[in-house]
Amino acid sequence: MTETTVLEMVDKASDRIKRLRGRYLDEKPFISIERAKFYTEKWIATENSKLSYNVRVALSMKNVFEKMGFNIDPDDRIAGTWTENFLGIPIDIERGLFNRVFEVELDEKSMKTFAKEGTKNFMSYMIAKYGSKGLLKTLDHSKKIGVVMPELGTDTLDIRKINPYQIREKDKELLLKDLLPYWKENTIANRLGKAFIESNIYPGEFGDFITNLPRSTGQSDMVTSIGSALGVWQGHLILDHEKPILKGLLAMKNEVQEVIVASKKLAQHEKEFLESINIALEGVMIYSKRLAEKLEDVLKNTSDPSTRAVLNQMLQTCQKVPLYPAETFREAVQSYWIIKTAVE
């Protein structure tokens, strides 16, 4: 008789880690509009200027860093958040990858209208192309092989079962009435999508077919042939975290300024590029300094000795990195995390 070995999983995590893990799994993240609002604010302010695109982007992000809120949680040991909430997502509204999601899926009526229009367009295309019988034949064939029409359902972002998000009512109103309409058809995703179509990248009648398919709200892959697809996102980036950890942002900014001063024969686009880097570094430095100021404010209003000790250690670390080189493991991790939350 063979003995059965039972392996017991023992959770040796501290109470703090268990709390954090539980909150990440159970709490509903907030949709933050701060990045979208402050980026758009500066973008509009520079709209009629003669500044280059690079410089305008850098200035817009600097405006975000100057005004965004921070969240310092009692269980934090490394400081820095993407939004003003413990759990929250920022909106990179100028890229536009998920703008359509917010336009449609924050309101049940909008979801129903979006679904009806998509189905209607597809039906009209199929009838015009293949006739009513051809449409019915296609639908019947799709049903037999287990392929169904795309269906969003009617559950809005805040009540859906998988990955729900919440948003404050005043933020939702500003997002839907002002921010999203301003960027409509002018995002990077929109421009890339139009460029794909204008370049006739879709073979034969395939372009007409996929254009008239019922669309999901999220940015979809654009299939060009079997096993080949195009996307309108800007790609994934792996930042050079080693340089700010070893040099510090202040030294990096000084290097850029030295190049600008020393290089008198630079082309205009090269000067603009260097200036945008200078502004971008300044923006992240502002983010870092404001984070340290937030820690200092929280520390001043905290009386518990053990909590004060934790906050004081975080404050001392954030007053040094990433502006200056990291000298300890803690400083290196904190430097990395500030750069990551600011830039990504």
Per residue in 62-73, pLDDT tens? 999 999 999 999
Amino acid of residue 252: M
The answer to the question of residue 333 being in a domain is: yes
Amino acid of residue 25: L
Dig out the tokens for 98 from the structure: 């998920």
pLDDT band at 232 (very low <50, low <70, confident <90, very high): low
Nearest to 51 by CA among 66, 37, 38, 62: 62
Which has more pLDDT, 145 or 97? 97
The answer to the question of residue 60 being in a domain is: yes
Contacts of 171 (CB under 8 A, 6+ apart): 31, 32, 33
The span from the CA of 95 to the CA of 97, in Å, is 6
The span from the CA of 280 to the CA of 55, in Å, is 9
The answer to the question of residue 175 being in a domain is: no
The answer to the question of residue 45 being in a domain is: yes
Give the chain's length.
344
Model confidence pLDDT, tens digit, residues 168-200: 999 999 999 999 999 999 999 888 888 877 887
Q: Label residues 292-313 b or e (16+ Cβ within 10 Å = b).
A: bebbeebbeebeeeeeeebbee
Confidence (pLDDT) at 225: 53
Domain that holds residue 59: 15-98+236-343
CB atoms within 10 A of CB 178: 13
Model confidence pLDDT, tens digit, residues 112-159: 888 888 888 888 988 988 899 888 888 787 777 765 555 556 789 999
CB–CB of 210/118 below 8 Å?
no
The answer to the question of residue 58 being in a domain is: yes
The span from the CA of 52 to the CA of 335, in Å, is 30
**Residue 9 predicted with pLDDT over 90:** no
The structure tokens 């009806």 sit at 116
Model confidence pLDDT, tens digit, residues 83-96: 999 999 999 999 99
The answer to the question of residue 193 being in a domain is: no
Model confidence pLDDT, tens digit, residues 251-295: 999 999 999 999 888 999 999 999 999 999 999 999 999 999 999
Confidence (pLDDT) at 279: 98
Which has more pLDDT, 247 or 263? 247
Contacts of 106 (CB under 8 A, 6+ apart): 156, 157, 158, 167, 172, 175, 176
Total domains, the chain? 1
The answer to the question of residue 199 being in a domain is: no
The span from the CA of 279 to the CA of 60, in Å, is 10
The answer to the question of residue 115 being in a domain is: no
